[in-house]
Amino acid sequence: EGVGPQEYVGIKMEVVEWSPAAKEAIDGKVGGRKVFLVPATLRPETMYGQTNCFVGPTLKYGVFAINDSEAYVVSHRGARNMAFQGLSPTRGEVIQLLEIDGASIVGTRVKAPLGIIPEVYVLPMESVKATKGTGVVTSVPSDSPDDYITTQELRKKAEYYKVDPKWLDFELIPVLSTAKYGNLTAIEVCKELKIQSPKDAKALADAKEIAYKEGFYGGTMVIGDFAGEPVQDAKPKVRAQLIDMGLAVPYAE
Ligand code: A2H
């Protein structure tokens, strides 16, 4: 952990259609509220390239009332932090409408704010940590080695992971370009480090570092309102846009 708080953005991915298991668990329990999965990201400028959302299949989540009209699906830990940041009916208090397993959320269809693919599926990722962010991760495989390698793994072993191949029927979207790796940074870095599986944890940590440095400090946007601008300049602008449009909330921890 670094010094000082991490400034994330919580992306509001509105549920469009629940998986059958989640539908059964949730039916009648949210009081007519709109429900959102809310991943915490450090890279709001990459949201154009979202292809799916991840939850930890063995983790527990809650559906938490944020106010009378909205509820968020996040970890209990995430909800508790949110309750001190204006994201709960009463400061410091969480209202959990129900608890739900990560595995039952898989297959749910959600909106992807700013995404070129407007609606995406929730998929399982075993490396999601319960102790970071909201326990929900939005997936941008063009720029995140973890996201790229996990979606490749799910494609190879769809049956084992209990995912429908149609949930993985997407192409990667070029979001930013770097001199060294072109416009699909994560793929090139994973190739360079010969990463084959999510179990290559050490190499993946290195890949994450390299992709982050190249993309963030050396990248230029190739999509969206700030195409042509350095990634560093675009990041706060996309972040502000998402929040102003009501598509995201600031989240720190
Ligand atoms: B990032 P840091 Cl394109 N478990 O968002 C595992 N990973 C988590 C998580 C959790 N509970 N919560 C958030 N994350 C991911 C985009 C992205 C991210 C890109 C490139 C790199 C990247 C799309 N996924 O992160 O340890 C989220 O993925 C690499 C740093 O707090 C979040 O930002 O620094 C990032 O890890 C936060 O990681």
Q: What are phi and psi of 225, to 5 degrees?
A: -65, -20
How confident is the model at residue 4, as a pLDDT?
79
- What is the rounded (10 degree) CA torsion for 40, 45, 46, 49? 110
Residue 6 beta carbon below 6 angstroms from any ligand 1 atom: yes
**Which value does ipTM take for this structure?**
0.98
How confident is the model at residue 20, as a pLDDT?
98
Q: What is the pLDDT of residues 193-251, one digit of tens each?
A: 999 999 999 999 999 999 999 999 999 999 999 999 999 999 999 999 999 999 999 99
DSSP E strands in the chain: the ranges are 7-11, 13-17, 34-37, 40-41, 52-55, 60-65, 70-74, 95-101, 109-111, 119-124, 136-139, 176-177, 220-221, 248-252
For 185, the token pair is 């940074």
pTM tops 0.95 = yes
Sheet of 13-17, strand order: 95-101, 60-65, 70-74, 34-37, 13-17, 109-111, 119-124, 52-55, 136-139
Q: What is the pLDDT of residues 40-53, one digit of tens each?
A: 999 999 999 999 99
Mean pLDDT, consecutive 10-residue segments, the chain of 253 residues? 82 98 97 98 98 98 98 98 97 98 98 98 98 97 98 98 98 97 97 96 96 95 98 98 98 97
Rounded mean pLDDT of the chain?
A: 97
Residue 137 beta carbon below 6 angstroms from any ligand 1 atom: yes
For 169, the token pair is 């029927």
CA of 245 to the centre of ligand 1 (A): 22
CA of 139 to the centre of ligand 1 (A): 9
